[in-house]
Amino acid sequence: MKKICCLNILILAVAILFASCSKEDDHSEVSSPSETGFFYGENGTSALTKADEAQANGQHKTIIAKKNNSTVVEIVLTDLKAGTYPLTAKYAFTYVKNGNHWESTAGTLTITKNDGNKLSGTFKATAGAGVSGVSTVEGKFNDIPVK
């Protein structure tokens, strides 16, 4: 009887140990539609990565997103008014991965809201070059600050 009790306790302890283990985080997350921040992903992934910080610059008409204190996306536009903008001009959309720059040659960015202080919208760069294995980059930004 004592052996069965000890065996049951051992099985329970092992079960708890395995249940508490989880797979490693791939640093991707699925964001809610209204979550504040800048989210991006490559090659059509549905699990977008959230940038640590992002802001729009009203004077220079740029949007810059950073992860681990390094720029990951830089967008240069002709305006920050609500509307749709092409991502075809040189340097209009740059994605930085492992120190390499992927520049868009096709795509669009849509600004859905600019209230003067916060900017929201979506983007999809559908063609580009510069980083092996990257064919598209897309994402969204919700209520990022305009400075």
For residues 78-87, give the mean pLDDT: 97
The pTM (predicted TM-score) of the whole model is 0.78
For 65-81, the pLDDT digits (tens) are: 999 999 999 999 999 99
The end-to-end CA distance of the chain, in Å, is: 72
Residue pair 76/61 in contact by the 8 Å Cβ criterion: yes
pLDDT, tens digit, 9 for 90 and up, residues 17-35? 334 443 333 444 555 667 9
Domain edges within the chain: 28-145
Work out the average pLDDT over 80-96. Answer: 96
Question: Per DSSP, which regions of the chain are E strands?
Answer: 37-42, 49-50, 53-57, 62-67, 70-76, 83-86, 93-97, 100-114, 118-129, 137-145
User: Residue 24 has what pLDDT?
Assistant: 35
Q: What is the pLDDT of residue 30?
A: 53
* Least confident stretch, 1-10, 48-57, 134-143: 1-10
Cα(95)–Cα(44) distance, integer angstroms: 15
What is the reported pLDDT for 81? 97
Whether 120 shows a pLDDT value over 50: the answer reads: yes
**Largest Cα–Cα distance of the chain, in whole Å?**
79
